[in-house]
């Protein structure tokens, strides 16, 4: 079963598997009410007709609301910067959808993600994609052995340009569509308006790192660590921290945004356990941020990370993902920067 979104990637993934001799079916997830999706479904139906595969439709709107949108809003309410795509992958695509796929009798779930799965003597590995500009392994760090053994990622060894050429050669309707965006339920990317509609916002003080009041903010959920615009201050300052307990927005200089270490929780390891000798580890503190050498120090249900070079604008709520070479070791949710 191929999770098909209507964009070029998942359509080409289905076509490649069909060409490879798999018995293929497509499945479309309805995740939120959006009348514009009707055209996408029509294109998907046409694509599946061209590929001669069935298309199943699965309504997970209530689950998406509870596990992704509500989570997204709650995290912002706490002063965090969440990543809803990771939550969707963990709970919806590789949780509820994978369960449904296996219950239908299928052997594998396939997606259009740019990453690779490799079987090794020690189990399954999750690897970065060949195309560094499209690699999505960061979003998949919560996958474990139970999911990886049932997962196919046909695009991991391809570059995006190759995928588009394949779509054009096959005459797929999705060949002319844009790539899917990061946050599908905020189509205009206006986070602040979305948050304002879903949670209450209380104005409060903007203070510097010494506690001196510099101005007023419009509600902590409108801001994120590293932000400079929208502060309405005379000085060139950046958001350093969101203090939800006192409803204060803490600002400072660019240098004060730098951190050499952090703590993270809600850990997930691809192998099922933390690495015993984590040498030569690199880490990414956000999607597309350069990987940097890091020391990994597991502490029960948490981990402390020491960076070889200070990192800019580390935001609680975001994910940190650990790599060894091209292999994803796992990751967790950033709780706080240590210094």
Q: How many CA atoms lie within 13 A of 26 on its CB side?
A: 28
Beta strand pairing call for 26-30 and 123-128: unpaired
Distances (CA, A) of 16 to 22, 53, 76, 157, 200: 9, 12, 40, 12, 47
Is position 48 annotated as part of the catalytic site? Answer: no
Q: How far apart are CA 314 and CA 292, in angstroms?
A: 13
Is position 184 annotated as part of the catalytic site? Answer: yes
H/E stretch holding 204 reads: strand 204-208
Q: Are 295 and 306 in contact (CB under 8 A)?
A: yes
DSSP 218: S
Q: How far apart are CA 331 and CA 314, in angstroms?
A: 15
Token output for 181:
């965006």
Q: Choose, from 48, 73, 85, 88, the residue flagged as catalytic.
A: 88
Helix (H/G/I), strand (E/B), else coil: 43: helix
Give the active site residues.
88, 184
């Amino acid at each position: 079963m191929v999770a098909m979104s209507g964009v070029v990637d998942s359509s080409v993934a289905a076509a490649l598997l069909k060409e490879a001799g798999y018995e293929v079916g497509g499945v479309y997830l309805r995740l939120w009410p959006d009348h514009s999706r009707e055209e996408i479904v029509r294109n998907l139906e046409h694509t599946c007709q061209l590929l001669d595969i069935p298309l199943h439709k699965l309504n997970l709107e209530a689950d998406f609301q509870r596990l992704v949108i509500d989570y997204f809003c709650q995290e912002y309410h706490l002063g965090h910067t969440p990543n809803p795509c990771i939550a969707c992958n963990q709970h919806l695509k590789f949780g509820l959808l994978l369960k449904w796929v296996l219950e239908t009798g299928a052997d594998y779930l396939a997606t259009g993600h740019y990453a690779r799965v490799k079987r090794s003597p020690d189990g399954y590995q999750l690897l970065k994609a060949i195309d560094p500009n499209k690699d999505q392994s960061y979003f998949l760090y919560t996958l474990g052995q139970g999911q990886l053994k049932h997962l196919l990622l046909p695009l991991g060894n391809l570059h995006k340009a190759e995928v588009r050429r394949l779509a054009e050669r096959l005459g797929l309707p999705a060949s002319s569509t844009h790539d899917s965006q990061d946050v599908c339920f905020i189509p205009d990317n206006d986070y602040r308006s979305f948050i304002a509609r879903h949670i209450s916002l209380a104005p409060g003080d903007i203070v510097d790192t010494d506690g001196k009041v510099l101005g007023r903010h419009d509600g902590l959920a409108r801001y994120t660590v590293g932000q400079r615009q929208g502060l309405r201050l005379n000085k060139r300052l950046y958001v350093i921290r969101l203090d939800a307990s006192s409803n204060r927005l803490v600002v400072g200089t660019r240098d004060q945004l730098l951190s050499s270490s952090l703590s993270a929780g809600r850990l997930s390891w691809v192998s099922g356990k933390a690495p015993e000798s984590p040498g030569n580890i690199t880490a990414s503190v956000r999607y597309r941020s350069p990987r940097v050498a890091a020391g990994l120090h597991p502490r029960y249900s948490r981990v402390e990370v020491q960076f070889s070079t200070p990192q800019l604008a580390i935001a609680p709520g975001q994910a940190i993902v650990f790599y060894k070479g091209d292999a994803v070791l796992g990751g967790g949710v950033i709780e706080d920067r240590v210094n």
